Amino acid sequence: MNTIQTILIAIIEGITEFLPISSTAHMKFANPFLGIADSPFVDLYEIVIQFAAILSVVVIYRKEFFNFRDYRFYLKLLVAVLPALVFGALLKKYIDAVLDNLWVIATVMVLGGVALIFIDRYFKKQVDPKQNEPIQFKQAFWVGCFQVLAIVFPGLSRSAATIIGGLSQKLSKQAAAEFSFFLAVPTMLAASAKSTLDVYQDHPEVFISGNLLNMLIGGLVAFFVALVSVKFFIRFVQKRGFSLFGWYRIALGLIMIAWLFLQKA
């Protein structure tokens, strides 16, 4: 990857990480158009800049993350992240294989879009008696279980899965989105650490100065772009909900399926 490719992928990541449209799908779709070939470094780079983007949440919600007297906040995140840690470890080989299959990712994009439209309309009709209450441990656990769906079906979007999980637990749209942001921090920290260790053990040649510089540049770009993206997303869902993101997913997924057919022809 050259510097321009590094920056463009980081911008895509920063914009899409917190939107329910799958940042992984967008990066995987963009790579062939930008002339980026699959490699151990590219796979690691995509994970690392996802974590860098997610660190923007720690800055925006620093009162929650650094309120050490509220230990229940950390315990709820632990309860919610455990299902992803367990299934991520058990299904790692499957996940690595599916992440390279654009057909699967494009199909999941379309199906996830349909689900997002349906669920957004369904929950508009629901009374939300707990919207001003903090998330409970049971709710946190079920949101974590929904996050597993994003692991099993790459392209579904981690944020989409966890937001849907939050809505199913009667959280308000804002509360569901914010807990999705919070949960992303330990989830991607674990994923980044595991991926870095695996690549270091199997492909130590990846850790050359040029690649490390690209990861630093990409991480910084993704972080600052994500700062803007998070604030936009919260304002948008409060006013418009999630349906527009569902239609976008369907359109992009169908475009990618058509492109894959043309490539195969």
Whole-angstrom distance, CA of residue 53 vs CA of residue 229: 10
- Could you count the other beta carbons within 10 Å of the beta carbon of residue 89? 10
pLDDT at 242: 85
Residue 7 · residue 219 · CB < 8 Å: no
pLDDT at 15: 94
- Maximum C-alpha span of the chain: 61
- Report the SS3 class of residue 128: coil
Could you tell me the CA-to-CA distances from 54 to 83, 154, 177, 228 in Å, in that order?
19, 18, 13, 12
Q: What is the pTM of this model?
A: 0.87
Residue 78, both tokens: 């632990």
Whole-angstrom distance, CA of residue 248 vs CA of residue 240: 14
Residue 13 · residue 53 · CB < 8 Å: yes
pLDDT at 78: 96
Residue 121 · residue 73 · CB < 8 Å: no
Tell me which residues of the chain have a pLDDT lower than 70: 124-133, 265
DSSP label of 135 = P
Residue 108, both tokens: 């999941």
pLDDT at 130: 47
